[in-house]
Chain A
Amino acid sequence: MIKLLKNRDFILFAIIIFGVILIGFANPFFVKPSSLSDVLTDTSILIILALSQMVVILIRAIDLSVASNLALSGMLISLLSTVYPELPVIFFILLSCLIGTFLGILNGVSIAILKVPFIVTTLGTLSIYRGLIYFVSDGKQVYSHEFSESFLALIHYKFLSLSFLFWVAIAVFIIMYLLLNHTKFGRNLYALGGNPEAAKYIGINENKYIILAYSISGFFAGLCGYLWVARYSVASTQIAIGFELTVISACVVGGISVMGGVGTVVGCTLGALLIGLIRNALPAVDISQFWQLAISGAIILIAIIINTKTEQRKDKTIMVE
């Protein structure tokens, strides 16, 4: 029991359940299954991006360009779909992933090979990718009537009364869980983030892992490019603007240490769910826009304080007493 209480993931889970109950008292409508299912749908993209961001944060880096990457991939396939509406939707999804991966690789190469610090690289590509959207779209939007029916239909498909979006999130959760906990690649990521110097001694090629981590981040940003555009039936220069900060918050709240090498897939997912819950619940209980931002910010700060408190490492012992 004590062990369970010390488990960060469990605490996070308890906070979410407690939060749902609390909100339920304030607004019974919110805890109806259909509303909760909407919350899950609304949080799905955040879960996917938080899990892929986690891969990058694990190796002591950050990918600030995810939202711009998402928007650019989404815009490119939207424009293409207006020209070739007859192409199957799977083609657009794969293409979006491919574009995202390519943009991710650019980040990785810049950091690993050109040695540009990750914060500078991804801050740069954040603007570049966003700027490219204006360039390719001429600043215009793609409206819902311009998309083909099949392009938008998939996203409204439901199974067991859960949306397609949430099923994708579940699939990504399972993939990430296997990747990070049950593959050599995943375990080496933890090793590299936990102690880069020691990772060198066991022959982990840091550059390769940096590029792969950013490719994964890019791949899922691309996937979310399609999901976002299809869900909101609109592609504009402004989509997902600033969303990278929400994603990083979800990771931090989920216990992914920005010092690298620490964090679980379950924790990260719960972090995204908590942020999603807050974003959806605060309007439901009539809290003003201003307070919503402040409360989100406070929760992130509290999470970071808890993280640093638990992370403080022990002094090296010199003396034998």
Chain B
Amino acid sequence: MKLELKKISKFFPGIKALQNVNFQLKENSIHALLGENGAGKSTLVKILCGVYQPDEGSIYIEKKQKNISNPATSLELGISAIHQESVMFDELSVMENIFIGNHIIKSNKLVDWSAMEKKTKELLGNLEADIKPDEKIKDLSIAQRHIVQISRSLVHDADIVIMDEPTASLSQKEIDELYSIIRNLKKNNKSIIFISHKLDEVLEVCDEFTVLRDGELIKTDLIANTNKDQLVTYMVGREINQIFPKKLVHIEDEIFNIKNFYKKTQFKNINFSLRKKEILGFYGLVGSGRSEVMKTIFGINKFDEGEINFNNKKITINKPKDAIKNGIVYLSEERQNLGMAGLMSVKDNINMAIMDKNSDYLILDKLKDLQNASELQEKLNIKVSYWSQLAQSLSGGNQQKTVIAKWLSTKPKILILDEPTKGIDVKSKSAVHEFMGELVDTGMSIIMISSELPEILGMCDRVVVMYKGLIKDILEVPNTSSEEIVKLASGE
């Protein structure tokens, strides 16, 4: 056994990211780590990389107990990760990215550039990659960046290579090349943890698999003993123990649609419509272009082609202010960074978007401010102790409600929610869900981006499934299943 994790648990405030997870990685094996977004895969990887420390449990490498207290230790233990997010140095050269933290040093303590260049050429040659050692990373394609990361792990002489969705943004040809590199690594006695959402490739490449769901171990077995449908069931087949108080409303006519939306490198052929009082879900893997489409509708980014129609009239949105004027608001996924001023009071946060409405001749009317804030606070049941309380001191759920209150102040007709319940506890979650039901009842329409299937299935009337910047299908919710949605979202 190369690597063994025993009873690993990791808790974050309000969330159990991992609970009693066991994981075993054999020598010369490609082991798939599967699960939906938020299942705990990233947390597990970060523990192995020494970025997080587990709260409980122990890690064994070649039967010896080890403590991975920081990333440097992780590298010393021979663990190397190829990350989904860019953990490379854009401004540095290829060879430097390969050798960073592991520079070849001459006897006079200076960096040996020529030796590094020679070694880089050799490594890249072995991987049959056409990359020059002195090119800057920022000028490389994503596939080339992966190859640089793989070379880095080879330089570190890593025995355990973690690949986090290495094929997510690659073309078929690049994917095939990557597979052969991975198989070569295996031949050279490396153990590989392979994270992917594409089940076909998991079945093709991997030897074993482990499925996580909601931070718990669901199943671990040989790939030979399973098939695609079974894997999907392991991944999504949770009991719906959260309550989704979907309010039954009578959905009215179409009020909004998007035609032939296109933005270079981000998305194309985006067509969908929204009806009054409807909740429309958007499902897709992280990076499938869901948020990009919504940010473009809201005017944060500009689109290259397409049109936006609202109440059968074409509208122009060049900046968020235009969208707000038309009654469209967008609640960002990153509420801490983009939706809320943490060091301002709850009241000021709620009133942030309507300051000009609450002002007479440039002077802010504090009474109107207070009225608006208390009205919404009551309606949403935001738990505040006093009005000047700082927004950042609220719990996650109440922060989310504050951001929602801010946008409700503008009396929107269309509310776009990007992962509205991400990282908040179950109770706040159901409060947000309940409130969504009330909002559509008052005549509003909601677009909800979510990575949680039960939430999509429980709350939405229809769901748009996206994959790599394209809409794969739009499904009527009662007539679909988690399995169908997951398959579409992985590009099948």
Tell whether, in the assembled complex, residue A195 and residue B265 are in contact, meaning their CB atoms are under 8 Å apart. Answer: no
Give the docked Cα–Cα distance between A261 and B171 (Å).
31
Cβ of A203 and Cβ of B265 under 8 Å apart?
no
Which B residues touch A178, using CB under 8 A? 110
Any A CB within 8 A of the CB of B423: no
B6 within 8 A of A: no
- Summed over the interface, the residue pairs from A and B with CB atoms below 8 Å come to a total of 100
13 A-B residue pairings within 8 Å (CB atoms)? A187-B96, A188-B101, A194-B92, A195-B86, A195-B89, A195-B90, A197-B87, A198-B87, A202-B75, A202-B102, A261-B91, A318-B287, A319-B470
Residue B292 at the chain A interface, CB threshold 8 Å? yes
Asked whether B329 is an interface residue with its Cβ less than 8 Å from the other chain, the reply is no
Interface centre among B90, B91, B105, B288, by most chain A C-beta atoms within 10 angstroms, is: B91
| Whole-angstrom CA separation of A200 from B85 in the bound complex | 14
Residues of B283-300 whose CB lies within 8 A of A: 287-289, 292
Among A183, A204, A318, which residue has the most Cβ atoms of chain B within 10 A? Answer: A318
B472: CB under 8 A from chain A?
no
Say yes or no: is B203 at the interface (Cβ < 8 Å to chain A).
no
Q: Of the 9-residue stretches A69-77, A269-277, A309-317, which lies at the interface with chain B?
A: A309-317
Docked Cα-Cα span, A313 to B136, in Å, equals 13
**Nearest-neighbor residue (CB-CB) of A179 within chain B:** B110
Contact among B73, B138, B142 with A317 in the assembled complex (CB-CB below 8 Å): B142
How far apart are the CA atoms of A317 and B402 in the complex, in Å?
A: 33
CA distance in complex: A321, B169 (Å): 11
> CB-CB contacts of B88-125 with A at 8 A, as 1s and 0s?
11111000100011110100011101000000000000
Min C-beta distance of B296 to chain A, whole Å? 12
Chain B residues with Cβ below 8 Å from A204 are 101
B70 within 8 A of A: yes
Is the beta-carbon distance between A183 and B111 smaller than 8 angstroms? yes
Q: Does A320 contact B (CB under 8 A)?
A: yes
Evaluate contact between B109 and A183: CB separation under 8 angstroms.
yes
Contact A319 B111 (CB under 8 A): no
Partner of A198, one of B86, B102, B113, B170: B86
Q: Is B268 an interface residue (CB 8 A)?
A: yes
Interface string of A175-196 (1 = CB under 8 A from B): 0001001111001101100110
Min Cβ gap B33→A in Å is 18
**Any chain B CB within 8 A of the CB of A262?**
yes
Smallest CB-CB separation from B81: which chain A residue? Answer: A201
Task: For A202, list chain B residues within 8 Å (CB).
Answer: 71-72, 75, 100-102
Residues of A within 8 A of B266 (CB): 315, 317-319
Given known contacts A183-B109, A184-B111, A318-B287, A201 and B91 CB-to-CB distance under 8 angstroms: no
The yes or no answer to B51 lying at the interface (CB within 8 A) is: yes
Task: Indicate if the CB atoms of A318 and B81 lie closer than 8 Å.
Answer: no
Q: In whole angstroms, how far apart are the Cα atoms of A316 and B470 in the complex? A: 16
Q: How far is the CA of A197 from the CA of B89 in the complex (A)?
A: 10
Least CB distance from B47 to A in Å reads 13
- CB of B331 closer than 8 Å to a CB of A: no
Nearest chain A CB to B416 CB, angstrom units: 18
Q: Say yes or no: B71 contacts A194, CB within 8 Å.
A: no
B107-152 residues at the A interface, CB under 8 angstroms:
109-111, 113, 138, 142
Q: A205 vs B109: C-alpha distance in the bound complex, in angstroms?
A: 20
Q: Are A318 and B169 in contact (CB-based, < 8 A)?
A: yes
Chain A residues numbered 156-185 whose CB sits less than 8 Å from any CB in chain B:
178, 181-184
Cα of A124 to Cα of B272 in the assembled complex, Å? 56
Q: Is B40 an interface residue (CB 8 A)?
A: no
Residues of chain A within 8 A (CB-CB) of B87 are 195, 197-198, 201
Contact of B268 among A197, A261, A315, A319 (CB under 8 A): A319
Q: List the A side residues contacting B81 at CB < 8 Å.
A: 201
Contact check, B169 vs A320: say whether CB atoms are below 8 A apart: yes
B468 within 8 A of A: yes
Query: What's the minimum C-beta distance from B343 to chain A, rounded to whole angstroms?
Result: 14
Which are the 8 A-B pairs with shortest beta-carbon distances? A203-B72, A319-B469, A202-B101, A198-B87, A182-B110, A317-B265, A194-B89, A203-B71
CB of A305 to closest CB in B, whole Å: 19
Question: Is residue B198 contacting chain A, with contact meaning CB distance below 8 A?
Answer: no
Q: Please tell me if the beta carbons of B288 and A318 are within 8 angstroms of each other in the complex.
A: yes
CB distance from A201 to the nearest CB of B (A): 5
Q: Is B17 an interface residue (CB 8 A)?
A: no
Cβ contact within 8 Å between B105 and A184: yes
Q: Which residues of B contact A203 (CB under 8 A)?
A: 70-75, 101
Chain A residue at minimal CB-CB distance from B290: A318
Q: Assess the A320–B103 pair: CB atoms within 8 A.
A: no
Please indicate the chain B residues that have their CB under 8 angstroms from the CB of A183 in the complex: 109-111
Contacting residues, chain B, for A201 (C-beta < 8 A): 49, 51, 71, 81, 83, 87
- The smallest beta-carbon distance between A16 and chain B, in angstroms, is 25
The complex places the Cα of A187 from the Cα of B104 at a distance, in Å, of 12
Please report the C-alpha to C-alpha distance between residue A226 and residue B435 in the assembled complex, in whole angstroms.
69
Interface 1/0 per residue, B260-274 and A, CB below 8 Å: 000001111000000
Q: Given A194-B92, A195-B90 in contact, is the A317-B169 Cβ separation under 8 Å?
A: yes
In the complex the two chains form, what is the Cα distance from A315 to B138 in whole Å? 11
For window 427-484 of B, CB contacts with A under 8 Å fall at: 468-470
In angstroms, Cα B88 to Cα A101, docked, is 32
Q: B110 touching A190 by the CB < 8 A rule? A: no
- By the criterion CB–CB under 8 Å, are B267 and A319 in contact? yes
Find chain A residues with CB under 8 A from B171 CB: 320
Cβ-defined contact, B468 with A320, below 8 A: yes
Q: Could you tell me the distance between the alpha carbons of A318 and B291 in the complex, rounded to whole angstroms?
A: 11
A190, B97: Cα distance in complex, Å: 11
A195-219 interface bits toward B, Cβ cutoff 8 Å, 1 = contact, 0 = none: 1011011111100000000000000
Chain A positions within 8 Å of B92 at CB level: 187, 190-191, 194, 261
Nearest-CB residue, chain A, relative to B76: A203
Q: Given that A194-B89, A201-B51 are known contacts, is A318 also in contact with B292, CB under 8 Å in the complex?
A: yes
